Amino acid sequence: MILTIRTTPWIVGGRTSSNALCRLFCLPHSGSGAFQFASWKNSLPLALDICPIQLPGRENRLREPPFTRIQTIVENLASELSGYLDRPYILYGYSFGALIAFELARELRRRKIPPPLSLYVLARRAPHLPQRDAPMHHLRDDLFLAEVARRYGELPAIIWQDVELMKLVVPILRADMTALETYVYEEQDPLDCPICAFGGKFDSTAEERDLEAWRLQTTRAFELKIVDGDHFFIRNNQRSVFSSILAKLSRVPQLALVGR
């Protein structure tokens, strides 16, 4: 029998049960929400819980003001996840989400919680590297969106063409960019967990040398995978990420069933 654990607005659209052998916490890229991970439960085994993280201000949490500081997000998230950390877990973050996942791992360490089995950081340069681009979160809407498009690629046409949708998207994007651009890296001991970094061959925001620098953030194994694609390479490389996660789980004796 599968027993459902308590619910939280911070985890939406995944699959959680008290019978899981391991939990995968998924943090989205800037301007987006948990919905992008909704289909993952159809591709990954039942023994692995899929826990998409829903930050305030998006999708079903649209009425809540979005946070504009990484540390505020991390402290609130760490408290919300306290009831979900009773078994092995993996942290996965994409771009903006990668930085949150990293700081979440450090916050959980401060709270004396065992480290994740692995930290997945995708499309994000190492946190200790200085920012290359000038801040843009303060720009007026048209200039702000033009800069977002220049760095990360055009927003989908459906968003550009819908005035009401733009009114919803811009504040979330601006809040996330504010959080990124006001982030101050604090020197601490490296994490005691493996780190796996993924990057797109044509992503100018996180080049291979930027991803390689994540190696300094762990005392354990480090793995770097460069795949075809731009900043949103995950669209065509999801299977590679799934294979990597399952391969790592298969190396842990008590979790070998997860990959079957």
What predicted TM-score, i.e. pTM, was given to this entire model?
Answer: 0.94
- Helix axes of 141-152 and 163-181: crossing angle, nearest 10 degrees: 70
| Residue indicated by tokens 């993924």 | 198
pLDDT at residue 61, rounded to an integer: 95
Mean pLDDT of the chain: 91
The gap from C-alpha 249 to its chain's centroid, in whole angstroms, comes to 19
pLDDT tens digits for 169-200?
Answer: 899 999 999 999 999 999 999 999 999 999 99
pLDDT-based confidence at 2, cuts 50/70/90?
A: very low
Measured CA to CA in angstroms, residue 56 lies from 29, 67, 79, 176 at distances of 14, 7, 15, 11
pLDDT at residue 149, rounded to an integer: 87
Catalytic annotation, pick one of 30, 32, 95, 118: 95
CB within 8 Å of 18: residues ≥ 6 apart:
2, 3, 4, 5
pLDDT at residue 156, rounded to an integer: 65
| Residue indicated by tokens 């390689």 | 212
pLDDT tens digits for 143-175?
Answer: 998 899 899 886 666 666 677 777 888 999 999
pLDDT tens digits for 108-127?
Answer: 999 999 999 999 999 999 99
Amino acid type, 11:
I
pLDDT tens digits for 45-91?
Answer: 988 999 999 999 999 999 999 999 999 999 999 999 999 999 999 99
pLDDT at residue 258, rounded to an integer: 66
Give the pLDDT mean for 247-260.
Answer: 73
More confident residue, 141 or 4: 141
All domains of the chain in start order, with CATH: 22-132+186-259 (3.40.50.1820)
Distance CA 95, CA 147 (A): 16
39 counts as catalytic: no
Instruction: Report the candidate in 31, 26, 11 with the shortest Cα–Cα distance to residue 152.
Output: 31
Measured CA to CA in angstroms, residue 207 lies from 7, 23, 198, 199, 202 at distances of 38, 29, 10, 7, 8
pLDDT-based confidence at 26, cuts 50/70/90?
A: very high
> CA triplet 3, 6, 9: central angle to 5 degrees?
135
Give the pLDDT mean for 212-223.
Answer: 98
pLDDT at residue 20, rounded to an integer: 86
